[in-house]
Amino acid sequence: MQEPQGGQHFIIASGRGADRAVAARFNAYHYNQSLTIRRAIGTSTSGQRPVATGPRTDRKARRFMKIVLFGRGGQVGRELEPVLRALGRLIACGRDEADLEQPDTVRDLIRREAPDIVINAAAYTAVDRAESEPERARQINAHTVGIMAGEMARLGGWLVHYSTDYVFDGTKSGSYVETDPTGPLSVYGNTKLAGEQAIMASGCRHLIFRTSWVYATHGSNFVRTMLRLLQEREELSVVDDQVGAPTAAARIAAVTAAAVGRLAGNEQELPPSGVYHLTAGSATSWHGLAEFIAATARAEGLPLRVAPNSIRPIPSSAWPQAAKRPANSRLDTAKLRKTLGVPLPPWQEDARQIVAALIQSGRGD
């Protein structure tokens, strides 16, 4: 079950199916962004990238890098596929090729392909449903992830994995750093934390990217849903006491491409294995994001039914949900920025691009 990186809806409705045309358009924009990032850190931007052969700590003997991507159909996976193809031989897998609910399919694929790098963009992300399906969520987010990690430890390769702000309880007053104590409030958060722990226990070389409030031009997410509701309703109520950084899936993909370039065995120092926080800069509330989407839509000339000042802020208590969310989802990204030297601009930059792209394509819903 490789669902989009969603599950954070605080309004009634779910997004419609993906629009391939607008997704391709925004993919192209962020592919260019990823080239800029990779050039900035001295990584090749054309052709396939060589990596060490034999013992994979030997960087003298080289061959083309082989990458396996799990979760190609999700929000992050769809953005990753085009940027990863420039870095080596890519085997992009959906549920038909490897189902995380059937761990043998994952194990068999890794053993058959013997990749240098596995990138896991697959996850169970239905946050509320996980409360009634804890074993299913744990199988996908933890048990099978542990199997991936064990296989990559055996091969001596790398595992790149995505985690979440939901591993924290949200009670800290400032931004969370990677070493802060965790304390998930939900089944989803617990299973994602268990996945992190399984990776670290395996001994494999790994990069775990914790991110937050993921959205894209495709799939079911807050931005697409809000654009539709702004055109359908005269008033909206949106939660205002949860704060985090809306992060574009394409930005995550661009930074991942920069990291993969580092893992490709060039002369630059490899990033240390560990957890890294990967989000856009700055932060807002869900209500603040909704107001931003509305303002951007108006600037783009999209007729909205909702009037200015008709998006009402409400507390989380007024919108009961099965899973409790952290009030503070802010993640400090200093470690990632220092290690990779990648730009993580304010969240408004990518959000504005995506809203404009959706509207200009005629799919502002």
The full set of domain ranges for the chain reads 20-220+246-284+324-347
The residues, any chain, with a CB within 8 Å of residue 267's CB and separated by 6 or more, are none
Q: Is 259 helix (H, G, I), strand (E, B) or coil?
A: helix
207-242: pLDDT as tens digits: 999 999 999 999 999 999 999 999 999 999 999 999
Please state which of the ranges 46-55, 66-75, 187-196 shows the lowest mean pLDDT: 46-55
For tokens 């394409």, name the residue. 250
- pLDDT, residue 362, reads 72
The pLDDT confidence band at residue 145, using thresholds 50, 70 and 90, is: very high
- The answer to which of 27-31, 116-120, 136-140, 325-329 has the lowest mean pLDDT is 27-31
Q: How far apart are CA 291 and CA 309, in angstroms?
A: 9
For residue range 93-141, list pLDDT tens digits in order.
999 999 999 999 999 999 999 999 999 999 999 999 999 999 999 999 9
| Chain mean position to CA 147 | 21
**Residues in the chain, how many?**
365
Give the pLDDT score at 32: 53
Average pLDDT over residues 293-310: 96
Task: Spell out the alpha helix ranges (H) of 205-363.
Answer: 222-232, 249-263, 286-299, 334-340, 347-360
CATH superfamily, region 20-220+246-284+324-347: NAD(P)-binding Rossmann-like Domain (3.40.50.720)
| 23 vs 330, more confident | 330
The whole-number pLDDT of residue 275 equals 98
The mean pLDDT value for 190-200 works out to 98
- Does residue 164 register a pLDDT over 60? yes
What value does the mean pLDDT take over residues 57-64?
43
pLDDT for 102 equals 97
| Active-site residue, selected from the candidate residues 31, 124, 176, 188 | 188
Taking the C-alpha atoms of residue 303 and residue 272, their distance in angstroms, rounded to an integer, is 49
pLDDT at 10: 40
166 classed as catalytic: no
Read off the pLDDT band of 19 (50, 70, 90). Answer: very low
Whole-number Å distance between alpha carbons of 118 and 120: 6
Q: Which pLDDT score, from 0 to 100, does residue 263 have?
A: 86
